[in-house]
Amino acid sequence: MKQRVLLTGAAGTVGSTLWQAWEQQDNYTLTLTDINPIEKASSRVEQVDIRDYDAMQALCQKQDVLVHLAYLRHYSLGKIPDEVNDITVSMNLFDAARESGIKKIVYASTNHVTGWNERISSPPRFSTGDQFCPDGWYGAMKGMAEIAGRYLVDAHDMRFISIRIGSFNGTSEPKGIRHCSTLLTPRDCVQLFSLAVDYDGPVKYLITYGRSANNDGYQQSYLDISGAVEILGYKPEDNLVKTHLHKFL
């Protein structure tokens, strides 16, 4: 029986890459949701504001996996009364998933959770999944959501996999020398998120980075994907250090 997957942020660049590939593969029963229109999908589509708790709880019903890509941009960080920020939305959605019986959350996080590592040394300090050193409120809130996931695993026996995406532009072409280290190409993105959705092994809580291979044995990306490789079985196909770095040197 196909897993039932609820995908938030489905109109975005990462979301569109995933659902288009997943529809072609026909491995999941998809429900796609975003505040923006989602064009040309054959799956169930619901145009919903992620801040609407009741609507999101209804969408969580009869789902097996929540893939949470949506992000609520912050403007005043709650300084305006009754304003909702991204961490509040994520925690509410996680709880709606729990209440609805969803047992696995795959969360799109960011390398900005450890972005300060790029500022304190050159080359950047190697970033691993156990580190939290954000370079702004965006990275801080993503890190808070990962900590909320830890609670769900410990208190409610759920599974939580966070993928800290390095860079994603919807193509396999890096836009600069940094992308040769951080870029996650579309086909590697689809492989990585699919492995996270499918994983049912003993590890209940995992934080890994999302990037392509980006390593030539001498020069290696500073974002750690060992968890994705060793636990999920990730085998990235693209290597921007080998194929593109020379263009920027």
Q: Give the pLDDT confidence of 61-110 residue by residue, as tens digits.
A: 999 999 999 998 876 566 666 778 899 999 999 999 999 999 999 999 99
Residue 31 confidence (pLDDT): 98
Judge contact between 4 and 155, C-beta under 8 A: no
Higher local confidence (pLDDT), 26 or 123: 26
Distance CA 234, CA 206 (A): 13
- In terms of Cα–Cα distance, which of 9, 8, 7, 14 is closest to 168? 14
CATH fold for domain 3-248: Rossmann fold (3.40.50)
* Amino acid identity for residue 213 in this structure: A
Tokens of 165: 């995406």
Q: What is the pLDDT of residue 33?
A: 98
The mean pLDDT of the chain is 95
pLDDT tens digits, residue range 45-57?
999 999 999 999 9
CA dist 117 and 127 (Å) reads 7
Strand arrangement, sheet containing 65-68: 44-47, 28-34, 3-8, 65-68, 104-110, 159-165, 205-210
Mean pLDDT, rounded, for 192-208? 98
Both tokens assigned to 71? 């992000």
Domain ranges, ordered by start, for the chain: 3-248
Has residue 218 got a pLDDT over 80? no
Rounded Cα–Cα distance for residues 68 and 152 (Å):
15
pLDDT at residue number 79: 66
Determine the pLDDT at residue 75. Answer: 64
Query: Is a pLDDT exceeding 70 seen at residue 244?
Result: yes
Q: What is the greatest pairwise CA distance in the chain?
A: 52
The reported pLDDT for the residue numbered 90 is: 96
Model confidence at 183, in pLDDT bands (50, 70, 90)?
Answer: very high
What is the distance between the alpha carbons of residues 23 and 26, in angstroms, rounded to a whole number? 5
pLDDT band at 20 (very low <50, low <70, confident <90, very high): very high
For helices 53-60 and 86-99, the axis angle rounded to 10 degrees is 40
pTM of the model: 0.96
